[in-house]
């Protein structure tokens, strides 16, 4: 199966402020595994794919708002929007479980979310996770990245980053990872294994 994503409409003029994977920079005292990218910019986020349904969550377990955009075999998960700034159509869809069409406006990038703001974050961005069900897009990933897409470099990361990496991998339920994909037992799917894919693989 092929995933059709149109990145140029997502957040025009934005830039990646935090990349995917091991992140020792955002919080130097607490390095982490970042299962997404963060994009910051002045424009309006637009839906970059056809979402069959959507779910709005005001506060997740870490105090962050989440807009979940579902498509066959996966979802695009967007964090940190401010409810009062969301496009009324996007909010109505998220509250009712309706879908969003390609190009539908969602709203401006939000704040860092309550948990991160409490740690001193002040900037505005959208945290973008691309989550795929194993087996659904394996061929598409291989076509985009090559056979290395499923290589596991966890041992290398453990050797390079030590205990902080080990602790993060355990906390986040990570089975294996490389520069492109993190295989994780996802709490949003009752602990089922999901692939968190670097959105840059799809141009996001």
Residue 32 bridge partners (DSSP): 23
CATH placement of domain 10-202: 2.70.70.10
Segment 190-203 shows an average pLDDT of 96
Q: State the pTM of this model.
A: 0.92
Backbone angles phi, psi at 53, to 5 degrees: -155, 165
**Residue 36, pLDDT above cutoff 50:** yes
Stated as kind and residue range, the H or E segment containing 40 is strand 37-40
Domain boundaries, the chain: 10-202
Cα-only R_g, the chain: 16
Residues 6+ away with beta carbon under 8 Å from 140: 1, 2, 3
Distance separating alpha carbons of residues 190 and 173, to the nearest angstrom: 12
Q: What is the pLDDT of residues 118-131, one digit of tens each?
A: 444 456 789 999 99
């Amino acid at each position: 199966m092929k995933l059709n994503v149109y990145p140029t409409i997502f957040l025009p003029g934005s830039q990646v402020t935090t990349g995917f994977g091991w992140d020792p920079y955002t919080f130097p005292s607490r390095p982490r595994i970042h299962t997404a990218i963060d994009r910051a910019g002045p424009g309006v986020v637009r839906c970059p794919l056809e979402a069959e349904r959507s779910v709005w969550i005001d506060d997740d377990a870490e105090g962050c708002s989440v807009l979940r955009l579902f498509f066959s075999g996966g979802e695009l998960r967007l964090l940190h929007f401010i409810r009062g700034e969301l496009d009324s159509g996007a909010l109505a869809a998220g509250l009712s479980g309706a879908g969003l069409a390609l190009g539908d406006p969602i709203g401006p990038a939000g704040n860092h979310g309550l948990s991160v703001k409490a740690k001193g974050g002040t900037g505005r961005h959208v945290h973008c996770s691309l989550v795929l069900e194993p087996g659904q897009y394996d061929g598409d990933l291989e076509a985009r990245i090559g056979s290395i897409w499923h290589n596991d470099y966890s041992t290398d990361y453990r050797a390079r980053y030590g205990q902080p990496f080990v602790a993060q991998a355990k906390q986040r339920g990570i089975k294996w990872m490389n520069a492109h994909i993190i295989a994780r037992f996802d709490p949003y799917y009752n602990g089922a294994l999901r692939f968190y894919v670097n959105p840059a693989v799809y141009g996001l």
